[in-house]
Amino acid sequence: MNISINSMEDLFRYGHLLPHMVLVDIDKRIGDWLASGGSIEDPYIKQQFRYAERFIKKVKKND
């Protein structure tokens, strides 16, 4: 399974593969960033997507 998370839509698509606590944390970080005036296109948001992607891949590798 090749998972690539590059957008909010991708995060929603694969969110069920993340533990609830991890998904809530990512959601809060993104929400806080956007509320503080950041953009969905900012590197910080892309970093959150990469974190989710790496987490899922690590969990799938260990299955």
Residue 7 in contact with residue 49, Cβ under 8 Å? Answer: yes
Q: What is the pLDDT of residues 9-56, one digit of tens each?
A: 999 999 999 999 999 999 999 999 999 999 999 999 999 999 999 999
Residue 53 in contact with residue 23, Cβ under 8 Å? Answer: no
pTM above threshold 0.85: yes
Count of beta carbons in the 10 Å neighbourhood of residue 11: 20
Instruction: Tell me which H or E stretch contains 45.
Output: helix 43-62
3-class DSSP assignment, residue 35: helix
At residue 60, the pLDDT reads 82
